[in-house]
Amino acid sequence: MLTCKQLIEALVDYVDGRLSLSRRFAVMVHLFCCGHCRSYLQDYQTTIKATRESALQVDEPPAVEVPEDFVQAVLKARKDA
Amino acid sequence: MVQDIPPHGVGLDAAETSLLIALRQGGEAAFETLVRTYGGRMLSVAKRFFANTDDAQDAVQDAFLSAFKALPTFDGRSQLGTWLHRIVVNASLMKLRTLRRHPEQSIDHLLPQFLEDGHRVSPSPGWKNSLSEMEKVETRETIRNQIAKLPESYRTVLLLRDIEEYDTETVARMLDLTESAVKVRLHRARQALRTLLDPLFGEDSSC
């Protein structure tokens, strides 16, 4: 059976669905037996979701203001280019 | 060669089509509209990549200049915002390459530690309320602040994979790394961020 260290090392490929069938089965067996690793996997997946969600909010107007001096700087740079 | 603008509904809506026509005619007002409409979103994208706002503004300015030059070849099959988004990500990566690199802080202390038999040293209890917490604006702000604490080489890979959703092969090409190096950095970045988010989502969280 995989150790917890081997299990955690395999997570990056596991969540991407990139493990071979035999390796995937070994991961699933370990997860079935180890509550700590099940929790870690859940947190790992939540971390990915949290990263994604953190970006969604700032993309929504009107959360993002364009500073006036920045607008003028870009227009000037275009003229100077 | 100037690309034809496709009919509405292919990539651009009516307002974007009108704006693109005005941009190609060189109207100053059209360029100002473009900067005012998309500049804020582009700044927020660039700010994820940089520790300071000046560098982010430089990257967005570079992105607009690239976009102005590329307007004749923009085929209009994606939305203007999507096209500009791709350009600002590339401009941010270019800008990062020009910045002087400082030695990065180790993140080893944020990674799980293991005993000789492969068991984890003092595993923490799993998160319970993370999904409901994530809907709060202040939680998202905290997550952004924690991502910003990651060293640049880890943060960049995390942003490209988990926010921009490029695949490993593409990120490897963009950063001139091996796929294996991308996976190692991504995995370490996610693990370090998991530790940084523990006070927010863990059992002892006061949020």
- The pLDDT of residue B157 is 98
Q: Which of residues 120-179 of B touch A (CB under 8 A)?
A: 120, 123, 125-127, 130-131, 134, 137, 140, 143-144, 147, 158, 162-163, 168
- The pLDDT of residue B46 is 95
Structure tokens at B18: 């009108």
With CA atoms as reference, report the closest residue to A70 among B22, B50, B63: B63
Q: What is the largest CA-CA distance in chain B?
A: 69
Per-residue pLDDT, averaged over A16-40, amounts to 96
Q: Is B120 helix (H, G, I), strand (E, B) or coil?
A: strand
Q: Do the Cβ atoms of B130 and A78 come within 8 Å?
A: no
Residue of A21 and B130 predicted with greater confidence: A21
Q: Which residue of B has its CA nearest to A61?
A: B41
Shortest Cα–Cα distance, A33 to chain B (Å) = 13
**Residue ranges of domains in chain B, CATH in brackets:** 14-98 (1.10.1740.10), 108-201 (1.10.10.10)
Characterize B141-171 residue by residue with b for buried, 16 or more Cβ atoms within 10 angstroms of its Cβ, and e for exposed: ebbbebbeebbebbbbbbbbbbbbebebeeb
- The pLDDT of residue B7 is 56
- The pLDDT of residue A65 is 75
The 10s digit of each residue's pLDDT in A53-68 is 998 755 555 556 788 9
Which residues are CB-neighbours of A68 under 8 A, at least 6 positions away? none
Chain A residues whose C-beta sits inside 8 Å of any chain B C-beta: 3-6, 8-9, 11-13, 16, 36, 38-40, 42-44, 46-59, 61, 63-66, 70-71, 73-75, 77-78, 81
With CA atoms as reference, report the closest residue to B60 among B76, B81, B45: B45
Inter-chain Cβ pairs, chain A and chain B, closer than 8 A: 133
Q: Where are the alpha helices (DSSP H) in chain B?
A: 14-24, 28-49, 53-70, 80-98, 130-134, 137-148, 152-158, 168-175, 179-201
Q: How far apart are CA B34 and CA A78, in angstroms?
A: 13
Shortest Cα–Cα distance, B176 to chain A (Å) = 20
- The pLDDT of residue A61 is 53
The complex's ipTM? 0.89
Cβ A8 vs Cβ A31: under 8 Å: no
**Rounded to the nearest 5°, which phi and psi values hold at B129?**
-110, 25
Cβ B30 vs Cβ B19: under 8 Å: yes
Per-residue pLDDT, averaged over A11-30, amounts to 96
Domain locations in chain A as residue ranges: 4-80
With CA atoms as reference, report the closest residue to B46 among B37, B35, B57, B38: B57
Residue stretches of chain B with pLDDT short of 70: 1-11, 204-207
Per-residue pLDDT band for A3 (boundaries 50, 70, 90) equals: very high
Quickly count: other Cβ atoms within 10 Å of residue A9's Cβ: 16
